[in-house]
Amino acid sequence: MMIPGTYFAALLLTVISMLCWGSWANTIKLSGKWRFELFYFDYTFGVLACAVIAAFTFGSIESVPADMPGVAFSFVDNMSISGKTQMAWAAAGGVIFNIANLLLVAAISVAGLSVAFPVGIGVALITGVILNYIIKPAGNPALLFGGVAVVLLAIIVTALAHAAHAAGKTATEPAVAQTVAGARAVHRPGARRSAAPSPLKGISLSLAAGLLMGLFYPLVEMSKKGDLGLGPYAAAFCFAVGILLSTPVFNLFFMNLPVEGDPVSFRHYFLGTRKQHLLGIAGGMIWCLGTISNFVAASAPPSVHLGPAISYAIGQGATLVSTLWGLLVWKEFAGATPAVRGRLALMLILYVAGLAMLSLAPLYN
């Protein structure tokens, strides 16, 4: 299997991870009024497809660093000799991730990319870095946890900006106009409502997603431990299987008790257009490409000094990428007051500073 042998190769993989994790959610926006619950079925298929393709391509190529002879197995060999416990750990990571990601997608539907990602993924970053460092310490702890603290400040600033912007919009929109718009709106089961929910709902969903999102990566790391541990490609495959098996359970809950709009049934899935289904599959494949890149980077040899905590933390720079998409492309804070724009600028500065500290942590171990 292909494993990076240098720090810069591993860092490049984490950058790819960051770009993929920060960009896949654009497929939700591009799908128009397609409900996220229906979108998510195609997203799951895309995740599994990407994991299978990677397993039988990069996961089956013999290209292993000299100081890591133990991972010279191909994907098929790795799956045949690995323990069932390790496979269960990876699949459990997929299950935990799945409920967290559904909450995150719900938060995107309610509050947008520029709120859901900074709050949700920021909390996930903090939780994941601490747990991953406990499991496998790597990197300078002062830079690592200092970067985490700066990211926490960025999360707080983001929440304040979102709350202030939502309050400003509510104050400036005449109540009569809202009533007329509500009377004229025609709601279809497969479409999103246009009414703006409370800002507290979006932030609450993001926080819940983040707390759970930070737990999946340590489970994946547990699947790699021991003589019968999984390699990164096998771990990604088991992880994707966990997502596939748990999606019907979790997603049916959101379909019957939606965070926004009316309940939908599975028959509405077949009313989607080809474009909407393809966008869901593309979203899953983009996300999974970023995840596999991150798993592979975290599996680099000890001489690289990257480790899972730093690989995960840099990958969660996706927050910055997704926020820029939300601000610059989707105009989620259009019409914001100077005070709100100032908070957004401060959030971006804090995120850049925090990620810089996390990137330097391996070099000053």
Contacts of 121 (CB under 8 A, 6+ apart): 21, 104, 210, 213, 316, 318, 319, 322
pLDDT at 183: 40
Contacts of 261 (CB under 8 A, 6+ apart): 35, 187, 189, 191, 192, 193
Tokens of 352: 């850049």
pLDDT at 196: 52
Tally of CB atoms within 10 A around 53: 15
pLDDT at 63: 60
pLDDT at 251: 94
365 residues of the chain, pLDDT tens digit each: 788 888 888 989 998 999 999 899 899 989 988 999 999 999 999 999 999 999 999 999 866 554 554 455 789 999 999 999 999 999 999 999 999 999 988 888 888 877 788 888 888 888 888 888 888 887 889 998 998 899 889 878 887 887 788 787 766 655 434 443 444 444 445 555 444 555 688 888 989 999 999 899 899 999 998 888 999 999 999 999 999 999 999 999 999 989 888 999 999 999 999 999 999 999 999 999 999 999 999 888 877 767 787 888 788 778 788 888 888 888 888 888 999 999 989 988 998 898 888 878 877 87
Tokens of 81: 């000799």
Given a contact cutoff of 8 angstroms between Cβ atoms, the answer to whether 359 and 11 are in contact is yes
Given a contact cutoff of 8 angstroms between Cβ atoms, the answer to whether 30 and 270 are in contact is no
Tally of CB atoms within 10 A around 173: 12
Q: Cα(266)–Cα(252) distance, rounded to whole angstroms?
A: 8
Quick one: residue 335, left, alpha or beta (phi over 0 = left, psi -120 to 50 = alpha)? left
